Amino acid sequence: MVDLSVNLGGIRLDNPIIPASGTYGFGYEFSELYDINILGSISLKGTTKEPRFGNPLPRIAECREGMINSVGLQNPGVEKVISEEIPKLRQCFNKKAIANVGGFSLDEYTYNCEKLGEVPEIGIIEVNISCPNVHAGGMSFGTDAKNAAEVTRRVKAVTNKPVFIKLSPNVTDIVEIAKACEDAGADGLTLINTLMGMKIDLKTRKPVIFNKKGGFSGPAIFPVAIRMIYDVYEAVKIPIMGVGGVATAENVIEMMLAGATAVQVGAANLTEPYVCKNIIEELPALCEKYKIEKLSDIIGGAH
Amino acid sequence: MKQSLFDIVSNKKIARDIYEMVLYGDTSDLVRPGQFINIKLDGLFLRRPISVCDYDDKTITIIYKVVGEGTEKMSKMDGGKLDILTGLGNGFDIEKSGDKPLLIGGGVGVPPMFNLCRKLIENGKDVTVIMGFMSQEDVFYKTEFEKLGAKVYVTTNDGTEGIKGFVTDAMKEIEAYTYFYTCGPEPMLKGVYDASKTSGELSFEARMGCGFGACMGCSCETKYGNKRICKDGPVLKKEEIIW
């Protein structure tokens, strides 16, 4: 019997599989498809203080082995997430979830983290300082080491829950920012968010996406994620939630070898709604194939 | 929603760039006319959402227009299997129709009217259908609708068949109807909305990510809050639409 469990920031997960924020809503809709209690955890839809519709349509474009989105953090706002969405999730999910927090200012990040940190169903706070689809705030906090550290410090001061900072790949040196977050007290890191991308329609000669640019995700970015996780793992001691292009159980093992303690599955949920279930079911046999008795033993094994 | 494999029973051209494909498999998740399916195609990342034209307990008929890489691939298929998500979207509410419903389809907005028409006629309704196309060579399914027992008006923009003009020109000839159902390009939907004299339901198209409500790629604002075209739609009530 292969042991799939991992310890993420002091929380024991039955397995390392976590649907990534923005690809799984607030979880309960996938419970119509399968028992979502099989998951390690769920990273919930990015939450801001005020309700947001997000960006104008079209906000989806298809690319080779991936897609561009410019949804722009559509969400009902932190109050409704706590009063309506999380109670719906509670009906079908009995494990701790991960709150994904967006923001446009230091005060907003702090406010949202404090509120969501008080919710008993939330085990980890994931702070998104890397959304490419909002003009103010969002990624601008994630592309500068000083700003990233400041967000981390402020958020850590208002919650006792483990804080993971979700980093942008759209930077010159992700390691510098990762270290700044660790030094500022982050309990862990999530990487990578989407890569900035663009698609132009040959017939209209215009960008497909209304906002012109968006976040590129899907299997095409997997090697980029592996490289960045590998580099950051070398430089920090705190755990990493790996994310970026994961679509198979093999991808999960590769990402853990690079240095991920847990692995988020993102865009694949949108094209293969059963992908997380399939990966969890395939992992034991794959571990046997690669002679892995305890999955957590392989974390960072490629170093 | 259900994910399963379907056999391609037939796939034939029925008008300019328009194909009819019949699929055999588990249709148990289709419960209302106006729902859609989402088809996985080799080499393409996103699935292709296509409206259901007709269905029974074993088969689904879809009609699609070749507009890009995905539908081009589909048009060349000759047998084989397809990985499909079925039972997507809310569909039309046939209980609201009244005795004399009016169905208005434009181009590839015509197919979802077909199963709706069948169900309404089975329920004893007096159904009138307006089908709008660009030109005669684009027209399809006129006789199929007539065989169901509907009164059919065809409009073409260039006047090569039926009434010259838009579906709204044909609407002027319909004296009385109790409710309307429509699907087509957005400018047509707006025209129908403005010309309509009763309540009704409008089915929208959108560029979708997942097709089942997870990604928020196809959200729209309505008088009753944000809705996802794929999950809370594609059918919206006339009274909730904000143009």
* B88-99 per-position pLDDT tens digit: 999 999 999 999
**pLDDT at residue A139 in the model:** 59
Average pLDDT, integer, range B189-214: 95
Query: CA–CA separation, A259 vs A238, rounded Å?
Result: 11
Q: What Rg, from alpha-carbon coordinates, does chain A have? A: 18
Taking residues A262-278, report their average pLDDT.
Answer: 97
Q: pTM, whole model, 2 decimals?
A: 0.94
How far apart are the C-alpha atoms of A81 and A166, rounded to whole Å? 20
Q: Does A50 touch chain B (CB under 8 A)?
A: no
Q: Is residue A121 part of a domain?
A: yes
The distance of B71 to chain A (nearest Cα, Å) reads 14
Which chain B residue is nearest to residue A208, measuring alpha carbons? B207
Confidence (pLDDT) at B132: 98
Give kind and range of the element (H or E) at residue A268.
helix A268-271
CB B5 within 8 A of CB B22: no
Please tell me the predicted confidence (pLDDT) of residue A151. Answer: 94
Contact present, A256 and A15 (Cβ < 8 Å): no
Bridge partner list, B182: B104, B202
Q: How far is CA A31 from the centre of its chain?
A: 20
Q: Answer whether residue B5 shows pLDDT above 90.
A: yes
Nearest to A58 among B3, B207, B221 (CB): B207
Judge contact between A122 and A62, C-beta under 8 A: no
Mean pLDDT across chain B = 96
Q: Check A271 against B214: CB less than 8 A apart.
A: no
pLDDT tens string B23-65: 999 999 999 999 999 999 999 999 999 999 999 999 999 999 9
With bands split at pLDDT 50, 70 and 90, how would you rate the model's confidence at A138? low
Instruction: Give the per-residue pLDDT at A134.
Output: 64
pLDDT above 70 covers what percent of chain A? 97
Q: What angle do CA A116, A196, A112 make, to 5 degrees?
A: 10
Model confidence band, residue A141 (pLDDT cutoffs 50, 70, 90): confident
Contact B213 A29 (CB under 8 A): yes
Q: Which of B193, B113, B107 is CA-nearest to residue B157?
A: B107
CA distance A148 to A165: 8
Whether A298 contacts A292, CB under 8 Å? yes
State which amino acid sits at residue A4: L
DSSP string, B134-153: SSGGG--SHHHHHHHT-EEE
- For residue B201 the two structure tokens come to 């339901």
Q: Hey, are the CB atoms on A25 and B209 less than 8 Å from each other?
A: no
Distance from CA of A27 to the nearest CA of B (A): 9
Query: Would you state the pLDDT for residue A142?
Result: 82
Residue-wise pLDDT for A182-238, tens only, equals 999 999 999 999 999 999 999 999 999 999 999 999 999 999 999 999 999 999 999
Average pLDDT, chain A: 95
Which of A25, A60, A269 faces B217 most closely, judged by CB atoms?
A: A60
Give the one of B45, B214, B226 whose C-beta lies nearest to A25's C-beta.
B214
Say yes or no for a CB contact (<8 Å) between B44 and A32.
Answer: no
Q: Do B221 and A53 touch (CB under 8 A)?
A: yes
Of A142-146, B19-23, B125-129, the least confident: A142-146
Cβ distance A69 to B47 less than 8 Å, yes or no, reads no
All domains of chain B in start order, with CATH: 2-88 (2.40.30.10), 94-203 (3.40.50.80)
Name the percent of chain A lying above pLDDT 90.
Answer: 93
The answer to whether residue A181 is catalytic is no
CA A95 from centre of chain: 17
Asked if A15 has any chain B CB less than 8 Å from its own CB, the reply is no
The span from the CA of A91 to the CA of A97, in Å, is 13
| pLDDT given for residue B74 in this prediction | 97
Directed axis angle between helix A222-235 and helix A249-258, to 10°? 30
A119 or A137, greater pLDDT: A119
Alpha-carbon torsion angle A76, B216, A244, A61, nearest 10: -140
Q: Is A131 helix (H, G, I), strand (E, B) or coil?
A: coil
Q: What is the pLDDT of residue B60?
A: 98
**A298: burial class by Cβ within 10 Å (0-12, 13-18, 19+)?**
middle
Q: What is the pLDDT of residue A66?
A: 97
Domains held by chain A: number: 1
A54 vs B contacts (CB less than 8 Å): 216, 219
* A273/B contact by beta carbon, under 8 A: yes
Q: Does A67 fall in a domain?
A: no
**Do B191 and B167 form a contact (C-beta atoms < 8 A)?**
yes
pLDDT of residue A69: 96
**In-domain check, residue A286:** yes
Put simply, the chain B residues between 177 and 206 with a CB less than 8 A from any chain A CB are 206
Q: Which amino acid does the sequence have at A298? A: I
Is A136 a residue whose pLDDT tops 60? no
Q: A187: Cβ–Cβ under 8 A, 6 or more apart, which residues?
A: A9, A10, A124, A162, A163, A164, A238, A239
Residue A303 resides in a domain: no
In this prediction, residue B221 has a pLDDT band, given cuts at 50, 70 and 90, of very high
Q: Which amino acid, one-letter code, is at B111?
A: P
pLDDT of the residue at A1: 83
Q: In chain B, pLDDT over 70 holds for what percent of residues? A: 100
Q: What pLDDT does B175 receive?
A: 87
Angle between helices A145-156 and A174-183 (to 10 degrees): 30
| CATH number of A11's domain | 3.20.20.70
Range of the domain at A283: 6-57+72-196+217-298
User: For B70-75, what is the mean pLDDT?
Assistant: 97
Least Cα separation, residue A24 to chain B (angstroms): 5
Contacts of A59 in chain B (CB under 8 A): 207, 217
For A:113-142, CB contacts with B below 8 A are: none
CA B137-B139-B145 angle, 5° bins? 155
